[in-house]
Amino acid sequence: MPKIESVDLFYVSMPVVEDISDGSQDALLFRVAAGGTVGWGEAEASPLPSIASWVAPMSHGFCHPIMTSVLGESINSPEDIARIAARVKRRSLDILQTDHTLSGLDEALWDLLGRMRGEPVWKMLGYRKSWPKTPYASQLFGETAQETYQKAKQVADAGYRATKFGWSNFGLGTPKQDADHLMAAREGIGKDGILLVDAGCVFDADVERAAKRLPALKAARATWYEEPLDRDALGEYKALSKRTPKVALAGGEGCYTFQMAKQMMDFAGVGFIQIDAGRIGGITPAKQAADYAKAKGVTFVNHTFTSHLQLSASLQPYAGLREHEICEYPVELKAVAMAITRNTIARDKNGQVSAPDAPGLGMEIDVDALRPYLVDVSIKVGGKALYETPKLRA
Amino acid sequence: MPKIESVDLFYVSMPVVEDISDGSQDALLFRVAAGGTVGWGEAEASPLPSIASWVAPMSHGFCHPIMTSVLGESINSPEDIARIAARVKRRSLDILQTDHTLSGLDEALWDLLGRMRGEPVWKMLGYRKSWPKTPYASQLFGETAQETYQKAKQVADAGYRATKFGWSNFGLGTPKQDADHLMAAREGIGKDGILLVDAGCVFDADVERAAKRLPALKAARATWYEEPLDRDALGEYKALSKRTPKVALAGGEGCYTFQMAKQMMDFAGVGFIQIDAGRIGGITPAKQAADYAKAKGVTFVNHTFTSHLQLSASLQPYAGLREHEICEYPVELKAVAMAITRNTIARDKNGQVSAPDAPGLGMEIDVDALRPYLVDVSIKVGGKALYETPKLRA
C-alpha cells in the first residue's frame, strides 16, 4: 500500500500585500507525494503560523508537530484520509492553528487519491454528477449609492445573475443610508438578479442594530444577510433569525471544524451555511457539513476567497447537490493566485460553473509561474533548522 | 499616558519534552513594558505557532501580525486592555492561533496595570475579596483498581479534600472496569472527599457509551464528569446532561473565546465551566465567562495545567465568587514551570489557596532561574529576521 513519502509546504505571496479584504494576496500550498503520485492542496490560513504548527516542537502529548502524524502513513482510500485527520486532530489538539493547517493537507490527500484512482473527488465523495452552480460576483459597496448602482449594473452587464455586496460603510452609518445602497444595488442588477448582502460582522453581537436593516433588505429582495454579527454569537444569530421582516441569514466561513458548522445550523438559525474547505479542515469535514445541511434543509454554499485550486476544493463537497445552486466565484484574483493553476474553472455558456470532471481536484499546478512568488522562510529552534522553503517542483 | 514600549516573547522548555499529558513541560511568556513598569503573562499555547502569529507577514486586511495592534498603544485602564484585545481580534481575525497568543498578552497587560496602580488584578475586576478556594490534586487513574485506590489514599493523606482522576484506560475498557476504578477512588479518598472524574474526550461524540458510565459515577458520588465527549459536540453534551442517573458535566478548557464558553453554558448543559485564562484570550474574557456562569447558575472553575503565574491569572477571574470554590491546583510541575516564579501560591493552614493580595498577578518572575530553559528561536522571511529570541531581563 502506498505510503506518504513527503509533504512540502510552500508559502507564495505578492511582493506587496495591501491592507484590504482580498484573500488572494498570498497562499499556503501543500504538495503530497505517495507511490509515484503527487497531490496539491491549499490552506486558507496565515502561512507562517501554519508552517510553524507543522514543525513546532512537541509541548506535551496533545501538542505534537502536525507532520509527525502524517509522514509514513499509508494512503489508499477515503478512510485513510479520515484516519490521518483524526490522528492529527488528536495528537495536535492543543495547537489552535491545527485545523487551518489540516485543511491544506486534507485537500492535497483527496487530490492525490483521485489521481491514483483516475477519479474526480466528487465521485469519490459518492456523487454521480457535478451539477452546474450559479456563480456570484462579490464586490464592495460603493462610497455613494450612485456608485453602488453602477457597480451592480456593470456586474449584471458582465453576465452574472447573482451579485454580492459587502463591507465598505454598510452598518457604519444610518439604516437609511444602508437602505439607499440596497435599493441602488437592486436597481443596478435588475428585477431578476440574485442580490446577496455581506455585513462583515459589523454589528458585533448587537441584534437590535442588525435588525434595523431588515426592512430595507426585505424591500430590496436580498436572498441572504451574511455575517451581520460576530461569528461565534450563535444565540444572537438565532434571535435575529426570528425577527421580522424575515431575511435568511448566511454564515459559516469562520468554521474550522464540522461541529462548528453543525452548531451554526443547530443554534444560529442560518438559512445558508458558507463553508471554506481551506479552513474547515478540508474536504472531509466540508462534505459532512454539506450532508448535514441537506438533511436539515439549510442551503450549502462554498466560501472561496483565493485561487481556482481552492475553488475546486470548495465545490467538491456539494458538487452533487443540485438544489444547492449558488456558488462564490472569485472574480478579481491577484497574480499570485492566478499563477497557482494552469487551468481555471470557467463559466459555461449559461454562465455557470462546475467542479471539474477530471481526476482529483482537476487543477494543474504551474510551478514555473509560481516560482517568482515563492517566499523564502527559515525557522530554527535551538540551532536546528525545522523548516527551510523547499524546492518548488511539479 | 503610558504607551506600550516593548513586548518580548520568551519560549522556555525542558531539555527533553515527554509524550505525556503534562502541560508544564514548556511555556510561552510575555513581558510587556510601559512607562517604567513591567508586566508578565503566559499563553497556554504551542510556543512556535504563537510566536509566528505575533510576527507573521500580513496576508490581507484581517490577517495582520498581532504585534502591530499592540506596540505603541496607550495603557492606563482596564478599558485600554479591552480596546487592545478588540483591535487584535479584528485585525488578526483570520489567524486561527490569535486567541491563544492574545491570552498571554492580556495577562501581561493586567499584571502591568496592577503594578502601575499598586492593586491586585481581582480588585481591578471589581471584587472586594479574594476568597479561598479548595484545590484539587489531579492525577491519572492507576493501571489497576488497586493502584487507583492507593493513589487516592496518598492524595487524601497529603491533605487534599478534593481529587481528580482521569485519562489512562478510562473509557477504553468495559463500564464494569471503569466502575471498579471509580469505587476504588472513592474508597481511597474516604467518604467526605470530593471526587472529580476527567474522561479526556474518550467517547468522541458517542452519547451512549458516555452514558454507560453514569451509574458508577453516581454510585461513587463523583461531583463532576469532565469532557466525556469531543469539546465541540455541544448537542451531544446536552443530550448526555439529561440522562439518568444525573451527574453534573464539566468542560470548557478548550474554549478560546468568551462566546465559546457561553455556548458551553447555553447549549451543552454543563454544571461546571472550566476556563484557562491562558487559552480563552486572557483574564478579560475569563471574567466575562465567570460573570455569565454566576448569572446562569453554572459553577466556574479554573483550568490550570502549568505554572503558578498561570495559576494566579486563572484564579483572578473568579477570586471574588465565594461559592465557586473548587480550584485546579498543579501539583507535580516540571522544573521549567517552577523556575518561572520566585514565589508560589501555597496552601494555607486549611489546605486552601487564594489569588494573591499583591499588585498585579502578585508573582515575581525569576529570570535567572529561567535562563537555562530559554529556547533559541530564529524566524526569517524573505531574508529578514522577524523574530530572534530576545535577551531575558527582569
Identify all chain B residues contacting A263, using CB atoms and an 8 Å cutoff.
232, 234-235, 263, 267
Other C-beta atoms closer than 10 Å to the C-beta of B347 total: 17
Percent of chain A beyond pLDDT 90?
93
User: How far is residue A317's CA from residue A293's CA, in Å, rounded to a whole number?
Assistant: 11
Q: Which among B339, B310, B269 is positioned nearest to B100, based on CA atoms? A: B310
Rounded to an integer, the average pLDDT of B82-101 is 96
Alpha helices in chain A (DSSP H): 47-55, 78-91, 98-117, 121-124, 145-157, 175-189, 207-211, 214-219, 234-241, 258-267, 283-296, 308-315, 335-339, 367-370
pLDDT for res B343: 98
Per-residue pLDDT reduced to its tens digit, A208-220: 999 999 999 999 9
CA atoms within 13 A on the CB side of B336: 23
Of A166, A29, A12, A214, the C-alpha closest to A105 is A29
Quote the pLDDT of residue B330: 86
Predicted pLDDT of residue B167: 83
Q: CA-CA distance, A287 to A293, in Å (whole number)?
A: 10
Q: How far apart are CA B394 and CA B391, in angstroms?
A: 10
Residue B352, Cβ density class (10 Å: 0-12 exposed, 13-18 middle, ≥19 buried): middle
CA–CA distance, A159 with A349 (Å, rounded to integer): 10
| Alpha helix positions (H), chain B | 47-55, 78-91, 98-117, 121-124, 145-157, 175-189, 207-211, 214-219, 234-241, 258-267, 283-296, 308-315, 335-339, 367-370
Percent of chain B's residues with pLDDT above 70: 100
Domains along chain B? 4-120+366-388 (3.30.390.10), 124-339 (3.20.20.120)
pLDDT at B88 over 90: yes
Burial of A365 (0-12, 13-18, 19+ CB in 10 A): buried
Report the interhelical angle of A47-55 vs A98-117 (nearest 10°).
80
Q: In this predicted model, what pLDDT tens digit does every residue of A240-278 receive, in sequence order?
A: 999 999 999 999 999 999 999 999 999 999 999 999 999
In angstroms, the CA B277 to CA B205 distance is 26
Cα B22 to Cα B12: distance, rounded to the nearest angstrom: 15
Closest partner residue to A19 among B51, B58, B97, by Cβ? B58
Cell of A375: 517566499
- Interface test with chain B among A42, A59, A232, A384, by most B beta carbons within 10 Å: A59
Count A/B contacts: CB-CB distance under 8 Å: 196
Per-residue confidence band for B328, with pLDDT thresholds at 50, 70 and 90? very high
Q: What pLDDT is attached to residue A274?
A: 98
> Is the CB of residue B256 less than 8 Å from the CB of residue B231?
no
The CA distance from B176 to B178, in Å, is: 5
Q: What is the pLDDT of residues A316-375, one digit of tens each?
A: 999 999 999 999 998 889 999 999 999 999 999 999 999 999 999 999 999 999 999 999
Q: Which residues contact A269 (CB under 8 A, 6 or more apart)?
A: A237, A238, A240, A241, A242, A249
User: In 3D, which of A310, A357, A349 has the Cα closest to residue A329?
Assistant: A310
Which residues in chain B touch residue A375, judged by CB atoms under 8 angstroms apart? 57, 381-382
pLDDT at residue B125, rounded to an integer: 98
Contacts of B378 in chain A (CB under 8 A): 378-380
Mean pLDDT value across chain A: 96
Q: What is the pLDDT of residue B314?
A: 97
Q: What is the three-class DSSP state of B165?
A: strand
CA separation for the pair B115, A77 (Å, rounded)? 58
User: How many other β-carbons are positioned within 10 Å of the β-carbon of residue B346?
Assistant: 7
Q: Check whether B332 has a pLDDT greater than 90.
A: no
For residues A7 and B204, the model is more confident at A7
Record: contact A256-B96, CB cut-off 8 A: yes
Q: Is B382 helix (H, G, I), strand (E, B) or coil?
A: coil
> Which residues on neighbouring strands pair with residue B74, listed in sequence order?
B3
Contact A260 B232 (CB under 8 A): yes
* pLDDT tens sequence across B9-41: 999 999 999 998 889 999 999 999 999 999 999
Task: Give the pLDDT score at B232.
Answer: 87
Percent of chain B with pLDDT over 90: 93
Q: For residue A152, name the pLDDT band (cuts at 50, 70, 90).
A: very high
Mutate to test the interface with A, among B303, B381, B387, B388 (most CBs of A within 10 A): B381
How far are the Cα atoms of A74, A165, A219 from residue A1, in angstroms, in the given order?
Answer: 6, 49, 59
Scanning every residue of chain B, which has its alpha carbon at the shortest distance from the alpha carbon of A27?
B59
Q: What is the ipTM of this complex?
A: 0.95
pLDDT band with cut points at 50, 70 and 90 for residue A62 = very high
The per-residue pLDDT for range A110-133, each reduced to its tens digit, is: 999 999 999 999 999 999 999 999
Q: Which residue has the cell 443540485?
A: A322
- pLDDT value of residue B394: 87
Name the nearest CA neighbour of A301 among A281, A343, A338, A329.
A329
pLDDT over 90 (residue B109)? yes
pLDDT at res. A46: 98
Instruction: Tell me the average pLDDT across B107-127.
Output: 98
pLDDT at A331: 80
| Residue of A20, A48, A256 to mutate when probing chain B, most B C-beta within 10 A | A48
Is A104 in a helix, a strand, or coil?
helix
* CA-based nearest residue to B271, from B242, B309, B244: B242
Q: Any residues with CB less than 8 A from the CB of B253 and at least 6 apart, and which?
A: B227, B231, B274, B275, B276, B279, B303
pLDDT value for A18: 96
pLDDT of residue A140: 86
Q: Per the structure block, which three cell numbers stand in for A266?
A: 443547530
pLDDT for position B276: 98
Euclidean distance between CA atoms B256 and B260, whole angstroms = 7
Has residue A394 got a pLDDT over 90? no
Beta strands B249-251 and B272-275 are: parallel
**Residue A23: per-residue pLDDT:** 92
Give the pLDDT score at A168: 83
Compute the average pLDDT of residues A80-84.
98
**C-alpha closest to that of A64 among A102, A30, A22:** A102
| pLDDT score of B352 more than 90 | yes
Tell me the mean pLDDT in the region A82-100. Answer: 96
The DSSP code for A255 is -
Element (H, E) at A135: strand A134-140
Q: Which three cell numbers stand for residue A274?
A: 458558507
Provide the percentage of residues in chain A whose pLDDT is more than 70.
100
Q: What pLDDT does B331 receive? A: 80
Interatomic CA distance for residues A83 and A75, integer angstroms: 10
Looking at residue A316, the DSSP 8-state letter turns out to be: G
Q: Is the dihedral of CA B285, B291, B296, B300 positive or negative?
A: positive
Check A59 against B17: CB less than 8 A apart. Answer: yes
- Terminal alpha carbon distance of chain B: 23
pLDDT tens digit string along B226-237?
Answer: 999 998 899 999
Measure in Å the smallest separation between the Cα of B66 and chain A Cα atoms. Answer: 11
pLDDT at A305 over 90: no
Q: Mean per-residue pLDDT for A18-22?
A: 90
The amino acid occupying position A129 is K
Read off the amino acid at residue B52.
Answer: A
Distance from CA of B56 to the nearest CA of A (A): 6
Would you state the pLDDT for residue A281? 98
Using the predicted structure, report yes or no on whether residue A167 has a pLDDT greater than 90: no
Query: What pLDDT band is residue B308 in, cutting at 50, 70 and 90?
Result: very high
Nearest to A290 by CA among A133, A169, A87: A133
Q: The cell 499592540 sits on which residue?
A: B70
Q: Which residue of A has its CA nearest to B12?
A: A59
d(CA A211, CA A182): 15
Contact A259 B232 (CB under 8 A): yes
Give the span between the Cα atoms of B266 and A255, in whole angstroms: 19
Helix (H, G, I), strand (E, B) or coil at B327: strand
| Rounded Cα–Cα distance for residues A304 and A290 (Å) | 15
Is the Cβ pair B21, A61 closer than 8 Å?
yes
Residues of A in contact with B98 (CB under 8 A): 96
In chain A, the N- to C-terminal Cα span, in Å, equals 23
State the amino acid at position B115 in one-letter form. R
Q: Give B353's DSSP letter.
A: B
Q: What pLDDT is stored for residue A84 in this prediction?
A: 98
Whether A97 sits inside 8 A of B97 (CB atoms) is: yes
pLDDT of B169-191, one tens digit each?
Answer: 899 999 999 999 999 999 999 99
C-beta atoms surrounding A391 within 10 Å: 10
